[in-house]
Homo-oligomer: A and B are copies of this chain.
Amino acid sequence: MPSYTAPTKDTQFLLQEVLKVTEQDIPGYEDLDAEFTAAVLEEAGKLAGAVLAPTNVVGDKQGCTLENGVVRTPEGFKAAYDELRAGGWCALDADPEYGGQGMPALLNLATGEYFSSANMAFQMYFGLTHGAISAIAAHGSDAQKATYLPQMIEGSWSGTMNLTEPHCGTDLGLIRTKAEPQTDGSYKITGQKIWISAGEHDMTDNIVHLVLAKIPGGPDGIKGISLFIVPKFLVDEDGALGERNALSCGGLEEKMGIHGNATCVMNYDGATGYLIGEMHKGMRAMFTMMNEARLLVGMQGYAQASVAYQNALGFAQDRLQGRDVTGAKNPDGAADPIIVHPDVRRNLLDQKSFVEGARAFALWGAELIDRSHRGGDAEAEALISLLTPVIKGFLTDKGFDATVLAQQTLGGSGFTQEWGLEQFVRDARIAMIYEGTNGIQSLDLVGRKLGLNGGKTIMGFFDMIKSFLKENEGNAAIKSDFLDPLKAASKDLQAAAMYFMAEGMKNPNNALSGSYDFMHLFGHVCLGYMWARQAIAAQAALDAGASDRDFYEAKLATGRYYMKRQLPATALHLARIQSGAEPVMTLEAANF
């Protein structure tokens, strides 16, 4: 059975020493002093380890069941849910006007990681409600906000997102679910939605479905889509639960992982729905909350990698096999712990350097969201829009890979259910697919985000790296190990962007054929940047005579590993990108 201890020390280091939150000019950040963030992280970590983690294996084994339209979650889920709800963890960053704690998105992400590591299938129930809250808060009328937000924020009601239909997922312009206007201003919603996470379950009194549908007579395709609130139980004027709406769970999906989360077929049979935001502007409403939702999915990638790494590390420190080739490290034992072997260390360091780099990257992303939402900073808004597909795509791809590496650390035990590593692999796999597949993320990045503000945003990113390098060029302790490789990697990224600009004009497939590699190239540069920032902070702490030298030395060693052994991947991605459309497009579809 795997165990989980929240990495509060690392998060605290990132918040206080790397991001230096209290020095940031972002409303609300002035409260984030070290004592406060430490207390929040400790409390979340305790709940994650003691309350949630024990439900993870049972959730996987039991899964959810559907009987007579009722979905039951696994043993212990409801009790754990109530405990987290009571602590106000459901929507830490929600608006205090509706009962939220009003904390920055940064802390919601930081603590969300722990819950996700402890039980990803469970944390999704929160995550989806969070997305629905954001949509209603951003686009709902005052009456809608008053009706739905307090209960959703308090956690007694949950939320869902209904996009996919059997014949379309990515191409939402094809959806068929109909919304017929009624004389009272409401709509009758009819259609079938699939893969609805938390579509039906037994943990809350009501479920607020947000449903994409088409109002007859509207424009074709993506421009004719509207967004509706369709509650499981209608809500009376006094806020009490009224009659059951005409919607039901028609089936549960059997999946590779996240068995504790109910993935539902949802049937809407003339259900009562309420338009949210403008008619035919449903996609715009969806998009506004995507940055945050995709950031949270990116987080799931490294959250699974983090817990998998912890367990792989424990195994590597305990398991005795073979001897250190340079001399026994455990001469009194039958063999040395396998962590002495270079290839086991290589495996562990691939995991560790990813997890810590990814955590830093995502927290920086959350800071940008706060800077944009709380500070009204348009540049930060543009930058996080640019980075969002990278955070989602790169961190979930690499996060999954890291869980596979962790499984490998255990050898045969990694393949058994008993040790639990294989569950992390199966659970992590979905994050590469949902909230827009990673292929779609790469298209969003190259097709939409690179051209944002006429290319000013990506140029701004390059300028930021350049300024960072310049500001720190006098820091001899980190120059050759961190700044020089970051500079080289950033040049590869610029060369790739230049290639797209020059060749994508001639043939868009020259850009699209390299989109996935570009997303990974970009991800490496971001992790390289965050490792350089961590190295500067760690070196500063050491120079200042910090007592916990081991922690800071480990930071530097792990960062050096990333710069030496992971970052050089940028050259490979650039080579692939520069090979252009020809290798990808030549083969006729019929001859594959």
What are the interface flags for A564-579 relative to B under an 8 Å C-beta threshold, 1 for contact and 0 otherwise? 1100110110011001
Q: Which residues of B contact A584 (CB under 8 A)?
A: 342, 345-346, 349, 561, 565
Q: Which residues of B contact A168 (CB under 8 A)?
A: 321
Q: Which residues of B contact A587 (CB under 8 A)?
A: 345, 349, 554, 557-558, 561
What are the interface flags for A413-436 relative to B under an 8 Å C-beta threshold, 1 for contact and 0 otherwise? 011111000100110011011100
* Interface check A454, CB cutoff 8 A: no
How far is it, in angstroms, between the C-alpha of A352 and the C-alpha of B169 when the chains are bound?
Answer: 25
Which B residue sits closest to A418, measured CB to CB?
B254
* Interface check A325, CB cutoff 8 A: yes
How far is it, in angstroms, between the C-alpha of A474 and the C-alpha of B223 when the chains are bound?
Answer: 58
* Interface check A467, CB cutoff 8 A: no
How far is it, in angstroms, between the C-alpha of A426 and the C-alpha of B592 when the chains are bound?
Answer: 25
Which residues in chain A, 51-100, are within 8 Å of chain B measured between CB atoms?
A: none
How far is it, in angstroms, between the C-alpha of A320 and the C-alpha of B166 when the chains are bound?
Answer: 12
Which of A15-23, A137-145, A511-519, A535-543 lies at the interface with chain B?
A: A511-519
Which B residue sits closest to A256, measured CB to CB?
B422
* B581 touching A416, Cβ below 8 Å: no
Which B residue sits closest to A335, measured CB to CB?
B171
* Interface check A372, CB cutoff 8 A: no
* Interface check A322, CB cutoff 8 A: yes
* Interface check A47, CB cutoff 8 A: no
A interface majority secondary structure: helix
Q: Which residues of B contact A586 (CB under 8 A)?
A: 557, 560
* B174 touching A256, Cβ below 8 Å: no
**CB-CB under 8 A for A342 and B509, given A254-B417, A426-B256, A561-B584:** yes
Which B residue sits closest to A323, measured CB to CB?
B171
Q: Which residues of B contact A212 (CB under 8 A)?
A: none
Which B residue sits closest to A347, measured CB to CB?
B439
Q: Which residues of B contact A325 (CB under 8 A)?
A: 508-509, 512
- Least CB distance from A556 to B in Å reads 9
**CB-CB under 8 A for A434 and B412, given A256-B417, A326-B509:** yes
Q: Which residues of B contact A572 (CB under 8 A)?
A: 568-569, 571-572
Q: Which residues of B contact A171 (CB under 8 A)?
A: 320-322, 335
How far is it, in angstroms, between the C-alpha of A387 and the C-alpha of B442 when the chains are bound?
Answer: 37
What are the interface flags for A384-418 relative to B under an 8 Å C-beta threshold, 1 for contact and 0 otherwise? 00000000000000001000100110011011111
* Interface check A164, CB cutoff 8 A: yes
- Least CB distance from A117 to B in Å reads 17
Q: Which residues of B contact A590 (CB under 8 A)?
A: 550
* B174 touching A341, Cβ below 8 Å: no
Q: Which of B167, B320, B339, B507 contacts A592 (CB 8 A)?
A: B339
**CB-CB under 8 A for A589 and B169, given A326-B508, A568-B576:** no
Q: Which residues of B contact A551 (CB under 8 A)?
A: 591
Q: How many copies does the complex hold?
A: 2
* B565 touching A583, Cβ below 8 Å: yes
A321, A554, A587: which has the most chain B beta carbons within 10 Å?
A587
Q: Which residues of B contact A167 (CB under 8 A)?
A: 320
* B321 touching A585, Cβ below 8 Å: no
Which residues in chain A, 312-353, are within 8 Å of chain B measured between CB atoms?
A: 313, 316-317, 320-322, 325-326, 329, 334-335, 337, 339-349, 352
* Interface check A42, CB cutoff 8 A: no
* Interface check A125, CB cutoff 8 A: no
* A575 touching B579, Cβ below 8 Å: no
* Interface check A588, CB cutoff 8 A: yes
How far is it, in angstroms, between the C-alpha of A321 and the C-alpha of B173 when the chains are bound?
Answer: 9
* Interface check A466, CB cutoff 8 A: no
* B592 touching A341, Cβ below 8 Å: no
Q: Which of B433, B550, B589 contacts A588 (CB 8 A)?
A: B550
* Interface check A48, CB cutoff 8 A: no
How far is it, in angstroms, between the C-alpha of A164 and the C-alpha of B319 when the chains are bound?
Answer: 14
* Interface check A180, CB cutoff 8 A: no
Which residues in chain A, 12-53, are within 8 Å of chain B measured between CB atoms?
A: none
**CB-CB under 8 A for A313 and B565, given A437-B411, A585-B345:** no
10 A-B contact pairs sorted by A residue (CB < 8 Å): A164-B412, A194-B412, A195-B412, A317-B589, A325-B508, A342-B581, A345-B513, A408-B438, A415-B429, A554-B588
- Measuring CB to CB, which residues of chain A are less than 8 angstroms from any residue of chain B? 164, 167-171, 174, 194-195, 253-257, 313, 316-317, 320-322, 325-326, 329, 334-335, 337, 339-349, 352, 400, 404, 407-408, 411-412, 414-418, 422, 425-426, 429-430, 432-434, 437-439, 442-443, 507-509, 512-513, 515-516, 550-551, 553-554, 557-558, 560-561, 564-565, 568-569, 571-572, 575-576, 579, 581, 583-592
Other 4 A-B pairs with CB < 8 A, given A257-B415, A572-B572: A171-B335, A317-B592, A346-B516, A346-B584
Query: Which 7 residue pairs across A and B have the least CB separation, nearest first?
Result: A256-B422, A171-B321, A342-B512, A254-B417, A557-B587, A554-B591, A342-B513
